[in-house]
């Protein structure tokens, strides 16, 4: 693709100014329209060292509305740290997964986010520090998958994704880098190592060209930019932005997605109806349940029939859960003490191996998630873990893709992240309550599998628990909470209201098991009608999986 760039092309000042002014006038108006309509823009600038990426971004940013423009510069790469992770041999590639930095920097829909170098450069840097040819190939495949999934997810979720590659010749690169290197005021910008890379220009050219061809996706095309003429470059960038925004704004809104977004915003503001169903007559209750069963069947029809990901054989089903499993108090106390001690010892080894552990809890209301989390957390040093709750999304979170708030809530390598509800809200509460459109939640199964696949490629151990309680025991716990002043804070009108939605939630949970029980992140049932049994089982699974991962 690099051969497409005519590096000899030069644009005169007289030709440039009227064309530039016309394009910028359009772009300024389009940016405000995009902001009003919630169309996000992601613009990535990659290219040669010395090609002028920063200058091109500077010329563009000068013309834009600063209130709706975000700029992210790729963080410095810790070569020594990367080498330590490689030499550890624990399968962990760094303190954070490759794509976390770019998700964290992402502005909301309606704003423009500019990345000066990004996920392609970051992936290339990490690949230099893989420890064997076999690992290199596996990491290369994982990184290719990660960057394409990032760009596709953004383009499916209200963002326009543009990628600019700023190209220059070998002679121009050498001249520019040497000039920067030899000037005392700019020498800090070009190290001796970077200057020495000029001799590898031809080899790097071939790699860049292959990369560009393999990542020129329909949903995120590359625009080749002549970095040897700043006027031609600025026009190419402005034209691409204007074209992309005009196309996106002409396509019109998705009515179903807009309706779902409005409902989600009302929920975030606490404005949804929370009517208590306990005062209804039996006839009214039957009508409500008939409607619930009809909605459950309708939503089940919208779910994908199959996953494109490998799913474990015989994933869990709600109908197969055995609610009779139990421990006596004496059995519980003995087993709890044993498993907590075991976890405390394994967590120290996990920290030394820098393995990130992520423990995710979903389940029925009043099933005992909080108590289960408490027994897991109390076994280890409080500095070793973070508990991430998932209340209704905030206004800022709703303005981003649904996975954004979880990309910003990951444990560092060697630490434990515990999730009290999680990203599965997209295919559970958001599906049932209509906070996401059918198109949005039905594609989320694959998006979640992609997310978890990236966590696994990073080196995380991800354990997913469904905490189950029988309907009869759930009602007992609700009544106990309602009647006990010390426990009333645990029960809300929404909990009572959700009992009306058992058919919809049961269908959603079974679809979730069926479509997201991958070999690297299968669902595990914690039978919590007897809380003692569930607490010990969770700790035992965590310990067994840690031992397996650590090779003990």
Q: What is the pLDDT of residues 124-174, one digit of tens each?
A: 988 887 666 667 788 888 889 999 999 999 999 999 999 999 999 999 999
Is residue 542 included in any domain, yes or no? yes
How many C-beta atoms surround the C-beta of residue 195 within 10 A? 18
Same domain, 525 and 466: yes
DSSP readout, 201-234?
A: HHHHHHHHHHHHHHT-BTTB-EEEEETT-HHHHH
* Co-location of 49 and 144 in the same domain: yes
Burial of 361 (0-12, 13-18, 19+ CB in 10 A): buried
Based on the domain organization, do 30 and 130 belong to the same domain? yes
CA 469 vs CA 117, 324, 510: distances in Å: 49, 10, 15
Phi, psi values for residue 454, rounded to 5°? -70, -35
The values of phi and psi at residue 129, to 5°, are -110, 15
One domain for residues 214 and 342: no
Query: Which pTM does this prediction carry?
Result: 0.93
| DSSP track, 482-493 | HH-TTTGGG--H
CB 87 within 8 A of CB 132: no
Separation of alpha carbons 448 and 531, rounded Å: 29
Q: Is residue 326 part of a domain?
A: yes
Quick check: is 257 in a domain?
Answer: no
User: Which secondary structure element, helix H or strand E, spans residue 180, and what is its range?
Assistant: helix 170-182
Among residues 234, 249, 264, the one where a domain terminates is 249
Determine, yes or no, domain membership for 175.
no
Residue 430 contacts residue 437 (beta carbons within 8 Å):
no
Say what the pLDDT of residue 373 is. Answer: 98
Domain termination residue (choose one: 187, 214, 249): 249
Same domain, 106 and 213: yes
- Token pair of 157, please? 């979720």
Residues 238 and 344 in one domain: no
Please check whether residues 427 and 517 belong to one and the same domain. yes
Task: Give the domain CATH number at 152.
Answer: 3.40.50.300
Q: What is the pLDDT of residues 442-497, one digit of tens each?
A: 999 999 999 999 999 999 999 999 999 999 999 999 899 988 888 888 888 778 87
Tell me whether residue 420 is in a domain.
yes
- 346 shares a domain with 206: no
In a domain, 264, yes or no: no
CA distance 413 to 142: 18
Q: How many domains does the chain have?
A: 2
Nearest to 388 by CA among 358, 409, 365: 409
Q: How far is CA 481 from CA 316, 320, 361, 366, 487, in A?
A: 30, 28, 21, 9, 5
**Among candidate residues 396, 398, 400, the one with its CA nearest the CA of residue 42:** 400
Measured CA to CA, the distance from residue 454 to residue 458 in angstroms comes to: 6
Nearest to 414 by CA among 84, 63, 194, 6: 84
d(CA 170, CA 51): 10
* Residue 94 and residue 35 share a domain: yes
CB of 347 closer than 8 Å to CB of 380: yes
Predicted local distance difference test score (pLDDT) of residue 137: 80
Instruction: Please give the pLDDT value at position 131.
Output: 60
**Whether 346 and 409 share a structural domain:** yes
Burial label for 121, CB within 10 Å (0-12, 13-18, 19+), is middle
Question: Residue 487 sits in which domain range?
Answer: 276-550
pLDDT at 273: 56
Q: CA 482 to CA 496: how far, in whole Å?
A: 10
Nearest to 111 by CA among 58, 40, 160, 161: 40
The pair of structure tokens assigned to 405 is: 């708030």
My answer on whether 329 and 455 are in the same domain is yes
What count of other Cβ atoms lies within 10 Å of the Cβ of residue 246? 13
* Per-residue pLDDT at 452: 98
**Region of residue 169 (phi > 0: left; psi between -120 and 50: alpha; otherwise: beta):** beta
pLDDT at residue 486, rounded to an integer? 83
Angle among Cα 236, 239, 241 to the nearest 5 degrees reads 110
Give the residue among 19, 494, 525 at the shortest CA–CA distance from 267.
Answer: 494
How is residue 75 annotated by DSSP?
P
Spell out the per-residue pLDDT of the chain, length 552, in tens: 899 999 999 999 999 999 999 999 999 999 999 999 999 999 999 999 999 999 999 999 999 999 999 999 999 988 889 889 988 889 899 999 999 999 999 999 999 999 999 999 999 988 887 666 667 788 888 889 999 999 999 999 999 999 999 999 999 999 999 999 999 999 998 988 889 989 999 999 998 999 999 999 999 999 999 999 999 999 999 999 999 999 999 987 788 888 998 888 888 766 555 566 777 788 888 888 898 899 999 999 999 999 999 999 999 999 999 999 999 999 999 999 999 999 999 999 999 999 999 999 999 999 999 999 999 999 999 999 999 999 999 999 999 999 999 999 999 999 999 999 999 999 999 999 999 999 999 999 999 999 999 999 999 999 999 999 999 999 999 899 988 888 888 888 778 878 889 999 999 999 999 999 999 999 999 999 999 999 999 999 999 999 999 999
Q: Per the domain annotation, does 398 fall within a domain?
A: yes
Q: Tell me whether residue 266 is in a domain.
A: no
Task: Name the token pair of 507.
Answer: 């269908």
pLDDT attached to residue 229: 96
Tell me, yes or no, whether 244 and 288 share the same domain: no
């Amino acid at each position: 693709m690099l051969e497409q760039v005519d590096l000899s092309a030069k644009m005169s000042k007289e030709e440039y100014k009227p064309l530039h002014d016309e394009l910028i006038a359009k772009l300024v108006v389009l940016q405000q329209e995009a902001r009003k309509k919630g169309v996000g823009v992601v613009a990535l600038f990659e290219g040669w060292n010395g090609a002028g990426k920063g200058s091109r971004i500077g010329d563009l940013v000068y013309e834009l509305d600063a209130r709706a423009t975000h700029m992210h510069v790729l963080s410095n790469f810790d070569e020594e740290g990367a080498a330590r992770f490689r030499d550890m041999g624990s399968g962990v590639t760094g303190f954070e997964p490759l794509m976390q930095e770019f998700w964290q920097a992402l502005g909301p829909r309606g704003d423009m986010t500019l990345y000066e170098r990004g996920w392609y450069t970051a992936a290339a840097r990490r690949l230099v520090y893989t420890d064997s040819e076999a690992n290199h190939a596996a990491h290369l495949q994982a990184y290719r998958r990660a960057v394409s999934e990032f760009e596709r997810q953004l383009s499916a979720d209200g963002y326009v994704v543009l990628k600019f590659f700023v190209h220059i010749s070998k002679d121009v690169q050498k001249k520019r880098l040497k000039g920067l290197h030899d000037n005392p005021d700019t020498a800090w910008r070009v190290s001796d190592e970077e200057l020495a890379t000029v001799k590898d220009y031809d080899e790097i050219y071939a790699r860049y060209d292959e990369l560009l061809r393999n990542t020129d996706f329909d949903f995120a095309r590359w625009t080749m930019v002549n970095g040897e003429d700043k006027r031609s470059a600025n026009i190419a960038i402005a034209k691409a932005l204007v074209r992309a925004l005009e196309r996106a704004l002409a396509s019109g809104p998705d009515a179903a997605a807009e309706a779902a977004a409005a409902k989600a915003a009302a929920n975030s503001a606490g404005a949804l109806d929370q009517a208590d169903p306990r005062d209804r007559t039996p006839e009214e209750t039957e009508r409500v349940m008939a409607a619930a069963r009809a909605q459950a069947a309708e939503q089940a029809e919208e779910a994908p029939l199959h996953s494109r990901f490998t799913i474990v054989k015989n994933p869990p089903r709600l109908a197969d859960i055995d609610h009779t499993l139990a421990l006596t108090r004496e059995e519980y106390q003995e087993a709890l003490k044993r498993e907590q001690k075991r976890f405390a010892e394994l967590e120290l080894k996990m920290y030394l191996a820098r393995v990130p552990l992520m423990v995710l809890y979903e389940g029925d209301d009043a099933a005992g998630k909080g108590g289960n989390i408490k027994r897991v957390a109390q076994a280890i040093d409080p500095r070793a873990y973070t508990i991430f709750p998932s209340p209704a999304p905030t206004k800022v979170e709703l303005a981003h893709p649904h996975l954004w708030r979880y990309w910003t809530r990951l444990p560092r390598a060697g630490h434990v992240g515990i999730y009290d509800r999680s990203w599965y809200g997209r295919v559970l509460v958001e599906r049932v309550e209509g906070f996401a459109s059918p198109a949005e939640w039905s594609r989320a199964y694959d998006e979640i599998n992609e997310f978890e696949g990236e966590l696994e490629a990073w080196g995380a151990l991800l354990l997913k628990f469904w905490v189950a309680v029988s309907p009869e025991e759930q009602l007992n716990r609700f009544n106990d909470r309602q009647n006990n002043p010390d426990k009333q804070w645990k029960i809300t009108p929404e909990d009572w209201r959700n009992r009306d939605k058992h058919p919809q939630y049961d269908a959603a949970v079974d679809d979730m098991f069926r479509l997201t029980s991958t070999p690297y992140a299968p669902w595990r049932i914690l039978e919590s009608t007897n809380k003692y049994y569930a607490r010990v089982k969770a700790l035992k699974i965590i310990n067994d999986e840690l031992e397996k991962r650590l090779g003990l």
